Amino acid sequence: MDLARSGVTANTISPGCTRTKMFEGTLKTMGDVRGWPDDLDEREKAFMDLGLFACTSARYGRSEEIGTLVAFLASPLAGFVNGANYRIDGGQVQSVN
């Protein structure tokens, strides 16, 4: 309320599993040990087949996708969006909030 009429909004972003450079390193290491194909997309699919962090979209998010949401929320186009949580997880959490 202190910032009402100032143009400042407050929203949160809750990303799910995301294929970062660090996670790609994990895929490389696990793939080498488990004999998975060299292609990172194939290694990602093999990792998902383990069922540890499954999501409806059958892939993990990309940093660029999360960045796009951040850019939108920080832009004037989202000036009327306030007090919301945006879960960007490809369906990992199977509920609506």
Q: Residue 4, exposed/middle/buried by CB under 10 A (0-12, 13-18, 19+)?
A: exposed
Instruction: Supply the Cα-derived Rg of the chain in whole angstroms.
Output: 17
| Mean pLDDT rounded to a whole number for the chain | 91
What's the gap between Cα 14 and its chain centre? 8
pLDDT at site 94: 75
In the predicted model, is pLDDT for residue 21 greater than 90? Answer: yes
Report the pLDDT value the prediction gives residue 39, as an integer from 0 to 100. Answer: 96
CB count in 10 Å sphere of residue 93: 13
Contact between residue 17 and residue 89 where contact means Cβ atoms under 8 Å apart: yes
Q: Tell me the whole-structure pTM to 2 decimals.
A: 0.80
Determine the Cα–Cα distance for residues 88 and 65; give it in Å rounded to an integer: 9
